[in-house]
A and B are shown apart, each in its own frame.
Chain A
Amino acid sequence: MSIEIVSRPHVENFINWSKDKPKVLVLSADLTNSCEVGKWRDTYPERFFSMGMAEQNMLGFAAGLAREGFEPWLHTFAVFLYRRPLDQLQMSIAYPNLPVRLVGFLPGITTPGGVTHQAIEDVGVLRGVPNLTILETGDATEIESVLDVAHAIDGPVYIRMLRGEVSRLFDKSEPMEFNSARVLSQGSDLTLLTSGITTEEAMRATKVLRERGVGIEHLHISTLKPFTDEKVLAALHKAQKGIITMENHSVIGGLGSTVAEVMAENAIGKPLVRIGLQDTYAHGASQKYLLEHYSLDAMALIKRVEALLDKELDIKPEDIPSAREISVHSSAKVEAL
């Protein structure tokens, strides 16, 4: 499984995309290069506003700008968009349903920055905020196409954004679509729903699982709220032996919880396995290490599948395609904080 690795796709894509959209502004809280908008700032200095390390105020400014017809795209780390300024996010932006785009970098364990930088419960916190749409990117194509999806939404949008060296899992000709899951494989033993970076891990595992005769309906989710895609409901009904969710987030409040709600409301009485952070904070280390340490990787999925099917599949780590086979050299500083 050779996957193209793309270096910092947001940088040029966002510049090109913004060219004919004069109402698009960028607000930054001292993490401009870390959020890949340094070149955007230099390209459109009259549309870039440095707000300093003061996120509560930045969200209020964004609300005022949006109220006057602009479309502010806030770029900072996800934790600084919903933890510190949650009241401002709710009262200044979400209540008035203003078109502010909250671009949150470093979702989950994608950073060695540790607990202060890892947004592990953002979806859980923000799913309860009325008017807010929640999107998550899973690859380079989604980083590029999430802009159009968010832009079209009449109201505030929170995006779990990826940066640095990212895989291209989905062809450029298949952009992210609002509230529409991608069906990555079909099968009727299990239904697997994944989001963000866990999709790539899952794809490594499902290849081997299919070879061992396990039928897997695999859906990649990029719209976490609203969560009303008919394809999801059909896939939940289809599963004969159980349903697995996999997310780069706490199992409380995120994709797993959302799927559980849909199952309960539709009387889908099947085992549900939620892979994710098991109600714990994480610590600072490499993404590869953290995926393994917190059982969020391909091997962890295989073990949960075996348990669910009550069957030994005899899959060894060397049977799984290796992660991130870098086919393109890149100078992107993946972990610059």
Chain B
Amino acid sequence: MEPINFEAVQKTANNIRKRVLEHTVKNNGGYLSQACSAAEIVAALYSGLVKLNPLSEPLAPELFKGVPSKNFTDYRTGAVFHGAQSSDTDRLIISPAHYALVIYTALIETKRLREDGLDFFNKDGYSVEMIGAEHSPGFETTTGSLAQALSQAGGIALARKLKKETGKVWVFMSDGEFQEGQTWEALAAINYHGLDNVKIIVDVNRNQCDGPMDSVMTIEPLAQRIKSFGWQVDVIDGHNLREMYGAGSKQTLKPQAILAYTDPMKNIEILKERLPVLHYVRFSSEAEREKYQDFYKAWSL
């Protein structure tokens, strides 16, 4: 890994929050708390933590050209935004597709998606969809039905081992997905087949659609549970970039899970007023929207 300019990556993370806030104010809604919790994670993923080839210039948001089929022969996935693939580059699979706005924003901030990319977000006829699928920027597979990405990643990792490729398979996950049985099937299988080329990083923001996870279905003690499935587990502060790069660059003999504990209101404290439900922010009044607008204008990070 290249030496990391932590200050620059932190700046990217801050910009992700700011841009998502701007978008949320403009569109009267958005997955804002996910930007608060995951800004450092996705900034790091696209800033050297995952080995991706750079692009010569940011790609333009694309029109939706159709779903995959045998008749659509030049179909391309959102992996093109991750640069040219080779045997030693990593794959990056985004599991919680409702983080799409955060992912597109990270792609913009890391010069992979054109600056005006969010102008096409959720716009009819474009691939920059609200819940990404594999035609959307940054999406290598279709994963919006939660917990399916890890199994797919296991298959990709197994294939890469069979092909003697050295690149890793990274999976960005949300903590709610550990309520799904398939996640545990995948954890067992990836360990059983010795796929030490899999690395997952989890945004443990402890919130889900209905509210705080503890009020829906607890997943703790998460680290112990994953460890007992034979994985290397690292628990970090998900807003601390040094911890994140430290854990992420470890050479492990087992598949690795990095549990990044995060604050879903990080840097946008007024979100506290919306507790206990943070999953999707839609303003209930013009006054509330203006409050967020003022917060955005005063942003000085």
The interface residues of chain B lying within 8 Å CB-to-CB of A87 are: 145, 148
A254 CB to nearest B CB, Å: 23
Q: Check if A92 sits within 8 Å of B134, measured CB to CB.
A: no
The interface residues of chain A lying within 8 Å CB-to-CB of B156 are: 64-65, 67-68
Q: Which of A55-63, A137-145, A228-236 has 4 or more CB atoms under 8 Å from chain B?
A: A55-63
Q: Check if A91 sits within 8 Å of B151, measured CB to CB.
A: no
The interface residues of chain A lying within 8 Å CB-to-CB of B134 are: 95-96
A57 CB to nearest B CB, Å: 4
Q: Check if B188 sits within 8 Å of A62, measured CB to CB.
A: no
Does B1 touch A at the CB level, under 8 Å? Answer: no
Q: Check if B189 sits within 8 Å of A61, measured CB to CB.
A: yes
Contact A63:B155 (CB < 8 A) given known A49-B193, A92-B148: yes
Q: Check if B151 sits within 8 Å of A60, measured CB to CB.
A: yes
Does B246 touch A at the CB level, under 8 Å? Answer: no
Q: Check if B186 sits within 8 Å of A96, measured CB to CB.
A: no
A61 CB to nearest B CB, Å: 4
The interface residues of chain B lying within 8 Å CB-to-CB of A88 are: 145, 148, 151, 182
Does B141 touch A at the CB level, under 8 Å? Answer: yes
A143 CB to nearest B CB, Å: 25
Q: Which of A57, A63, A70 counts the most B-chain CB atoms under 10 A from its CB?
A: A57
A residues 91-124 in Cβ contact with B at 8 Å? 91-92, 95-97
Does A9 touch B at the CB level, under 8 Å? Answer: no
Does B67 touch A at the CB level, under 8 Å? Answer: yes
Q: Check if A91 sits within 8 Å of B193, measured CB to CB.
A: no
Q: Check if B159 sits within 8 Å of A63, measured CB to CB.
A: no
B residues 174-188 in Cβ contact with A at 8 Å? 181-182, 185-186, 188
Does A154 touch B at the CB level, under 8 Å? Answer: yes
Contact A56:B182 (CB < 8 A) given known A87-B145, A154-B70: yes
Residue of B159, B163, B181, B182 touching A64 (CB-CB under 8 A): B159
- The B contact surface, by secondary structure, is helix
The interface residues of chain B lying within 8 Å CB-to-CB of A153 are: 70
Q: Check if A60 sits within 8 Å of B160, measured CB to CB.
A: no
Contact A64:B192 (CB < 8 A) given known A95-B67, A95-B68, A96-B142: no
Closest-by-CB residue of B relative to A63 is B152
Q: Check if A59 sits within 8 Å of B68, measured CB to CB.
A: no
Contact A68:B159 (CB < 8 A) given known A49-B193, A54-B185, A95-B142: yes
Does B101 touch A at the CB level, under 8 Å? Answer: no
Contact A57:B142 (CB < 8 A) given known A64-B157, A67-B155: no
Does B224 touch A at the CB level, under 8 Å? Answer: no
Q: CA separation between A95 and B77, bound complex, in Å?
A: 12
Contact A67:B141 (CB < 8 A) given known A54-B185, A92-B148: yes
Does A271 touch B at the CB level, under 8 Å? Answer: no
The interface residues of chain A lying within 8 Å CB-to-CB of B153 are: 64
Closest-by-CB residue of A relative to B193 is A49
B residues 145-170 in Cβ contact with A at 8 Å? 145, 148, 150-160, 162-163
Q: CA separation between A64 and B154, bound complex, in Å?
A: 7
The interface residues of chain B lying within 8 Å CB-to-CB of A63 are: 141, 151-152, 155
Residue of A54, A60, A95 touching B155 (CB-CB under 8 A): A60
- Count contacts on B: residues with CB < 8 A to the other chain: 33
Does B285 touch A at the CB level, under 8 Å? Answer: no
Q: CA separation between A154 and B141, bound complex, in Å?
A: 18
Q: CA separation between A153 and B69, bound complex, in Å?
A: 11
Closest-by-CB residue of A relative to B189 is A57
Does A155 touch B at the CB level, under 8 Å? Answer: yes
A52 CB to nearest B CB, Å: 7
The interface residues of chain A lying within 8 Å CB-to-CB of B145 are: 87-88, 91
The interface residues of chain B lying within 8 Å CB-to-CB of A67 are: 141, 152, 155-156, 159
Q: Check if A68 sits within 8 Å of B148, measured CB to CB.
A: no
Q: Check if A56 sits within 8 Å of B185, measured CB to CB.
A: yes
Q: Check if B158 sits within 8 Å of A49, measured CB to CB.
A: yes
Q: Check if A91 sits within 8 Å of B144, measured CB to CB.
A: yes
Q: Check if B163 sits within 8 Å of A68, measured CB to CB.
A: yes
B200 CB to nearest A CB, Å: 14
Q: CA separation between A51 and B162, bound complex, in Å?
A: 16
Q: Check if B70 sits within 8 Å of A64, measured CB to CB.
A: no
The interface residues of chain A lying within 8 Å CB-to-CB of B188 are: 52, 54, 57
Q: CA separation between A65 and B157, bound complex, in Å?
A: 8
Q: Check if B142 sits within 8 Å of A91, measured CB to CB.
A: yes
The interface residues of chain A lying within 8 Å CB-to-CB of B160 are: 68
Q: Which of B67, B134, B141 counts the most A-chain CB atoms under 10 A from its CB?
A: B141
Q: Check if B158 sits within 8 Å of A92, measured CB to CB.
A: no
Closest-by-CB residue of B relative to A27 is B155
Does A38 touch B at the CB level, under 8 Å? Answer: no
Q: CA separation between A91 and B132, bound complex, in Å?
A: 13
Provide the B208-224 mask, 1 if CB < 8 A to any CB of A, else 0. Answer: 00000000000000000
- 23 contacts across the A-B interface (CB closer than 8 A): A54-B188, A56-B185, A57-B186, A58-B151, A59-B151, A60-B151, A60-B155, A60-B182, A61-B152, A61-B155, A63-B155, A64-B151, A64-B158, A69-B159, A72-B155, A88-B145, A88-B148, A91-B142, A91-B143, A91-B145, A96-B68, A130-B67, A155-B70
